[in-house]
Structure 1
Amino acid sequence: MQQKAKFLIQLQVLIIGFLMMLPLQSLAQLTEATNLSKAQNLSSYKPDSALMLLKQVHARAVSNHQTLVAAQSLQQMGQVCYEQGHYAQALDFYQHAEQLLESEKQKDKLAGNWSKMGLLYYYNRQPKQAKKFYLKAHELYRQTGNSEGQAQVLGELGHLFEKQQQYQTAFSYQKQALAKYRQVGSKLGLAKIYENIGSIYEDLARYDSAYYYFNQSVQLYEKQQNTIDGIEVINNLGDVFRKSGRYQDGLQQSYKAYHLAQQMHNTYQIAAATHDLGKTYQLLNRLDSAYYYAELSRKLSLEIYSKDGLKQTSFLQVLYNFNKQNDEIARLNTIKKTNYIITVAVSIVVLLLIILGVVIFSRQRLKINDQRLLAERNEAIFKTQHELMQLELKNKQLQEETLQQQLELKGKELSSHTLNLIRNNQLLEQMRNTLQQMVKDDKRDQKKQMQQMVHQINQSFNHEQQWKEFTAALEQVHQRFFERLKEISTDLTPTDIRLIALIKVNMDSKDISGLLGISMDSLRVARHRLRKKLNLDQGENLSAFIQSL
């Protein structure tokens, strides 16, 4: 005993030393692999505990970024839900596992996941979807060269077509699966395919062939010590004997299945065996035995139903809590993501504001420098322009002074011409009056000569040279005056222009009539005609209009 205890202590030390030598990540993966195996064992009799354990494994795997472990835990949770008949929840787990396996490029495991999804769709009575996923899994297994995986999927496809009563197609797939399992040397795989082929022959009522393949399956299960699967096939053998009228052989196989199920404490198989025994005894007309086993089967079925009900209740509670926790986790993750997004957004906004502030500050500094340089440049330009303007102003002042002097000279010349005209006309007026008086005296010897003198004097009133000089002087003083007159009216006569010129220099009517050599009445008539030619309205002052030109 002491040596054994010493050996166990040494073994523990070696195991602990080995574990300490492993990297932390490898140690964590090893621990989770152990938990997955433990959950798989629990799933058959404590599905609620298995689901809780798998949930914990999945949560840790997600937290530690162990994608493959997370996918495997999801697959096992899907399997537990499938076994409990919760197909919708199982499908959800498988779909999440599919996404993770695709991201990790785990082709073999992904193909296995598709195969399980196909089986799920089959039991959910969706054969088209089941076939789709089976074919996808088979193609992926073919790409990876996984013959055993191909065989397993081919067997499932054969079983699918059998239930649709497409027996030729079912046979084809089962034979392909059989060849693949023989290739890899899988005894358990061969046993399952023999069972499937036997089931097809049983459906076709070819009981000899069914017996052959069921018997082959049982022998392989016994060699592999797989009693549980073997019991079901033994029951199938009992069914074949009963259907073919070999009741005693059928009873023998049913009793064999019954005793093996009792040894394994498998209530479900016990109930199935007693049910078959009841049917066989009924056919043998042994009604007491038939009733006994039928009643036993009924009680066992009720017991199974009751236990399954309790398991289902417990499982549903775990599943509810699981979904509730998932919803809460999803809600918290959403809040976390939202807070993260808000934090990132605020950080980005603050950073952008800081950058914007720096840019604005830099641009403002550059703008201020540019404005300062521009102001200095403008100031220099302004000074230069100011100096030029001062020079130009002085030049203009000098020009204005010169023009003013010239204007004053011209005004003096105009006044001088006007005075000369007035004096000449006054002198001529006096002479004309004297001569007219002499003519009135009627001195015949002087009359003719005096008339000639009067005629010459009258001609001198309109001496053109004097008027030209007067007009030139007026134009220099009042530039473009006569041009504006011509723009207003083209009907003006030389006499009209002289009248306008005299009005322009503010000469009174008496002097105007004297210069023009006409009476005051004639002057009024001339002014009236001039108003019409200038298109003046009634009441508009002629002198004011001429002064405005």
Structure 2
Amino acid sequence: MKYLYNVLLGLVLCISVRGQENDRAELAYTQRLSQRFPDSAFLLLKEMYTQSIAKKDRASTATCLQQMGQISYYLGNYSQALDYHLQADKIFREVGRREQTAANLDDMGILYYYNRQLPLARKQYDEALALYNQSGNGEGLANTYGKIGHLYEKQRKYDSAFLYQRLALAQYQRIAHKQGMAKIYENMGSIYEDLERYDSSNYYFTAALQLYEQSGDRVASIEVVNNLGDVLRKTGHYPEAIVQTNKALALAMQTNDLYEKGAAYRDLGKAYHLLGKEDSAYHYLELSRRATLDIYSGENNRQTAFLSVLYDIDKKNDEIVRLENAHKITVITTIAVIIVVVLLIVLGVVIISRQRLKIRNERLTGEQDRQIYRTQRELMQAELQNRRLQEEKLMQELEVKRKGLTSSTLHVIQKNQLLENLRDRLAVLVKDDKRDQKKQLQQLIQQINLNFNHDQYWNEFRETFGQVHQQFFDNLKSHNEELTGNDLRLLSLIKLNLASGDIATLLGISQDSLRVSRYRLKKKLALHNGESLTAFVQSL
């Protein structure tokens, strides 16, 4: 009941649709109501939820959904509870309520845990931790750390369980939250009890009880006192265990906590059985059985009432939807009939006039289409003729350049042959004994040799060659960017498919020098020994 009591404390966020005085009175009423009649509290929440939707107060709508999910969880309807929490999660994220999103994720983590979906539970807790870290909420961090520690405890991963319980304890100590510290001490005592380390378990249970008593939390104290009785019984201190469990029983009777009463009766039965007092053991075990029946009966009654409320709400909602739909259908039907009648009248007038207009427009459109077709056909023919002329012009220009390139090459060959003949004849004259004449002739031969390498026709030749053989030099550089001007000149002449003798004459070198130059070029172009340089160049 304590859980549901805390749940209804949050309802103040949902009651913003009413006046402040009515809010306070209604909140106090729902707090009292939820302790005994969660179904009535759920009805009130449902009403607040409807009003928040009408007011378009999305934050309050999400809070109502979260609280309805918590009541559903308390009553054991986990699937319904998860549905409410998922709806709340979506709205909280949309309106940017970070801390409420984190608290809702913690609730969802509990539901996934009870549904035995432990990875999903851990995922919710991790996201809640991230949100609490962003907002710096120490209490939220501590609460989530404690839940993760509990998750590891149920998986018997005690080292991880201790780690997260200590993280939670550090957060609670930082903000001096006694009830939170007490809960963590209780959790740690439970872990030590599972590990059968009863001295440590007793220490932490005692510390938890002291903090609960200091904060006046009698309900939480009952379970701790019961746990202390368990530790005493498990360590063989049966009389002391009975005293401690009777103390827990008295507290449970004062608060009318059926769960703790049943646990105390069961523990007393076990203790008396261990002492060999079977009559007393039977008596308390019978009381435990009756308490368990009372608990189940109460839970069944609450769940029945809750399911009845859900059924009534759904039935009422269905009826409202049905009536609204019927009204909408009636309005829509009336409007549709009026519109149809008007449209029929207008349509009759429009059809006659538009039919006449259509015939006239079809005639005009047909004539325009024929005219457009003729114009487009003439334009296409003119464009085709223009393209043919352009292609012919380009072919003529290319042919002229080819002829010019050939003529230029032949001119250079003839010129170089002439120079070569002159050089040979002058070389003969140089062999004569006339010293002055010999010096002048040597200068003339040197000048002729220079003309072999630095000819003005080469620039014109390269420009014309580049126009005829586009991309040739770029393709060569893609194989080797370090080709020299002489290399490019030789490769261009090879591309023209000239004979080796003509190439040597054009370059002013011997056949042997030409073979060496071709060999070096093959190495620069990374060609294998068996590959043909001429075939490679022709392929570019």
Q: TM-score w.r.t. structure 1 length?
A: 0.56
Is the Cα contact below 8 Å between 2:17 and 2:51 reproduced in 1?
no
Matched, 1:109 2:100: yes
Report the Cα distance in structure 2 between the residues aligned to 1:201 and 1:325, rounded to whole angstroms: 52
Report the Cα distance in structure 2 between the residues aligned to 1:177 and 1:60, rounded to whole angstroms: 38
2:118 to 111, 117, 127: 127
CA distances 1:15-34 after superposition (whole Å, capped 9, x unpaired): xxxxxxxx997xx3674465
1:293 to 281, 284, 297: 284
Is the Cα contact below 8 Å between 2:17 and 2:55 reproduced in 1?
no
1:224-235 alignment to 2 at 5 Å? 224-235=215-226
| Matched AA of 1:250 | A
| Matched AA of 1:93 | Y
Matched, 1:283 2:284: no
For the structure 1 residues 133 and 91, does the alpha-carbon distance in structure 2 shift closer, same or farther, using more than 3 Å as the test?
same
For the structure 1 residues 330 and 40, does the alpha-carbon distance in structure 2 shift closer, same or farther, using more than 3 Å as the test?
farther
For the structure 1 residues 337 and 196, does the alpha-carbon distance in structure 2 shift closer, same or farther, using more than 3 Å as the test?
farther
For the structure 1 residues 32 and 343, does the alpha-carbon distance in structure 2 shift closer, same or farther, using more than 3 Å as the test?
farther
Report the Cα distance in structure 1 between the residues aligned to 2:184 and 2:202, rounded to whole angstroms: 14
Aligned to 1:324: 315
1:252 to 232, 238, 243: 243
**CA shift at 1:341, angstroms?**
10
Name the SS for the 1:165 alignment partner: coil
CA distances 1:418-453 after superposition (whole Å, capped 9, x unpaired): xxxxxxxxxxxxxxxxxxxxxxxxxxxxxxxxxxxx
Name the SS for the 1:43 alignment partner: helix
Percent identity between matched residues is 49
| Matched AA of 1:113 | N
What is the count of residue pairs matched by the alignment? 347
Aligned to 1:78: 69
Report the Cα distance in structure 1 between the residues aligned to 2:335 and 2:201, rounded to whole angstroms: 69
**CA shift at 1:304, angstroms?**
2.0
Is the Cα contact below 8 Å between 1:195 and 1:217 reproduced in 2?
yes
CA distances 1:331-386 after superposition (whole Å, capped 9, x unpaired): 66777899999999999999x99xx9xxx9xx9xxx9xxxxxxxxxxxxxxxxxxx
Matched, 1:48 2:52: no
Unaligned 5+ segments in structure 1 are 1-22, 368-549
- The structure that has the greater radius of gyration is 1
Aligned to 1:270: 261
1:97 to 80, 88, 92: 88
**CA shift at 1:62, angstroms?**
1.2
For the structure 1 residues 76 and 288, does the alpha-carbon distance in structure 2 shift closer, same or farther, using more than 3 Å as the test?
same
| Matched AA of 1:179 | A
CA distances 1:237-294 after superposition (whole Å, capped 9, x unpaired): 1111111111122111100000111111222211111111001100111111101111
Matched, 1:210 2:201: yes
Unaligned 5+ segments in structure 2 are 1-15, 359-540
Report the Cα distance in structure 2 between the residues aligned to 1:343 and 1:76, rounded to whole angstroms: 43
Is the Cα contact below 8 Å between 2:179 and 2:212 reproduced in 1?
yes
Report the Cα distance in structure 2 between the residues aligned to 1:110 and 1:339, rounded to whole angstroms: 42
For the structure 1 residues 138 and 38, does the alpha-carbon distance in structure 2 shift closer, same or farther, using more than 3 Å as the test?
farther
CA distances 1:135-175 after superposition (whole Å, capped 9, x unpaired): 11111111111111011000000001110111111111110
| Matched AA of 2:167 | Q
Report the Cα distance in structure 1 between the residues aligned to 2:331 and 2:147, rounded to whole angstroms: 47
**CA shift at 1:91, angstroms?**
0.8
Is the Cα contact below 8 Å between 1:36 and 1:54 reproduced in 2?
no
Matched, 1:118 2:98: no
For the structure 1 residues 151 and 346, does the alpha-carbon distance in structure 2 shift closer, same or farther, using more than 3 Å as the test?
farther
Report the Cα distance in structure 2 between the residues aligned to 1:334 and 1:205, rounded to whole angstroms: 65
Matched, 1:142 2:133: yes
Aligned to 2:396: none
**CA shift at 1:191, angstroms?**
0.6
CA distances 1:23-71 after superposition (whole Å, capped 9, x unpaired): 997xx36744653554344333211111111111111111122222222
Matched, 1:170 2:161: yes
**CA shift at 1:74, angstroms?**
1.4
Name the SS for the 2:36 alignment partner: coil
Aligned to 2:484: none
**CA shift at 1:328, angstroms?**
4.6
* CA RMSD, 1 decimal: 3.7
Is the Cα contact below 8 Å between 1:40 and 1:76 reproduced in 2?
no
Q: TM-score w.r.t. structure 2 length?
A: 0.57
For the structure 1 residues 24 and 162, does the alpha-carbon distance in structure 2 shift closer, same or farther, using more than 3 Å as the test?
closer
Is the Cα contact below 8 Å between 2:181 and 2:208 reproduced in 1?
yes
| Matched AA of 1:71 | A
Is the Cα contact below 8 Å between 1:51 and 1:77 reproduced in 2?
yes
Aligned to 1:403: none
Name the SS for the 1:175 alignment partner: helix
Name the SS for the 1:65 alignment partner: coil
**CA shift at 1:227, angstroms?**
0.5
Report the Cα distance in structure 2 between the residues aligned to 1:123 and 1:238, rounded to whole angstroms: 27
